[in-house]
Structure 1
């Protein structure tokens, strides 16, 4: 999959492809089929698509009911509603009984852009990560989204898939040996001085930052940690042992997301300095997506600065 595509668009295409061989797949929307790109699935499989209106809690409960009847529902709405408004239903109706429902939070992070702080969800990874038994995935590009959608469809357990609104460059199909596996991060670029662990669209920025640092003689490893939970602890610990310092990068609050998961792992298994790069515990604001990301420091340039700072903390 060459070029650029929003992960929400790649997801919509993946649903149509997978429906042909997975009759258990059904799709539920909360009046946002056009925005979350499930509208084409609705056209091709009208008997397997259900528009629940602006009733996210009801949609989640119905998905749970369908799951008890042998279906694998994918619920779709914006991340702020999927993990905020319907959190209790996700916890009690889906996760508590361990039902195979994939909750899809589209338009996650600051890159929602003009919709502003009310819709720029930077708390969703935390909200979903704390639910027992919940798998949490944040694909970085269209190619990875296709693999993630299939993997979660085949997972007989509750899961959360976070998607973004803006188009992002496809990078995983350019990496030799790339392989997607739930619960396993992938090393996109090797390096020995520091490690950047990123998810979502920050993977692309991490690769750019590593390139900038290489020009200065700094060798930065880049890990695509698409699965936030279960975290690939072995890969994290290996990176900490080999490079001595970690920088995490995510389009999410620095509290409760990828950075928190990495810190929790390393504090017990391999204590090294960890610098978290993300949204600094504040709300977003309205603006063009790339300008908003830049305003909050979610760029390769700022990430490179975080790595330089992290190196000053590295144990000799």
Structure 2
């Protein structure tokens, strides 16, 4: 049997358990790691001992991982925090040992993990990078339901807006650009990626009238990368980068900060966006939404992004060969 994509359970008090059954519509051969007691009643599943074990048609393969407490929709239990973390680590171990094809992670609640297990990472991305050997990574959000595609990479992520100018160093921006360029080649089979880089300031600084970062280091950095042979444009005014004609001119946009990147993709493809971690030695995707405690247990969870994330994980793994 071909290797499966692993789907981690995420926070069991969120909508994650409700997404498992509907995710079968993806057509992707996946195995879920979690506590079967947390799955909604009627979810068709079959416990397996190893990721590649056969199951009857129409059944979700489940790698059982017992949790100490039941899951109450909308209310994270600190007792389950350590088990949530262990499931992620277990999936990484399996993909690193090539027993699984790739991994897709369902949403975690970072506050619950911090309070319940002292989780020391800002989120999934940083924890996965640590488990992989403290490798440099970049967070990409990729659309699946709009053309031309919208792919964005924020060079700075989960920091206050006031901290962005000091954090957006030439070294950090160059790292994000290089990881994105390599990721498009390896994971998306784009042999000659076209990149666009957003300016930090309105109108990309407008010649210094609205800021100086573009002239101080963005333009010199991009000129040097172009001299190396990269197809890279910018710094560009962010407000004109994301309409269809603009997106047709590049394969991914590197943005200065979190909202500059995420607002356009969530506007263009709110349900179908996928979170991708570039730079890892394995493929990892995630639906582009959170635990949704407010609707957990109500049967209202939308599996569109999870289905898209599973499909993208499979496609990326195949692109890697």
Q: TM-score, normalised by structure 1?
A: 0.29
Q: Report the structure number with the largest CA radius of gyration.
A: 2
Larger RCO (CA under 8 A, 6+ residues apart)? 2
Q: TM-score, normalised by structure 2?
A: 0.29
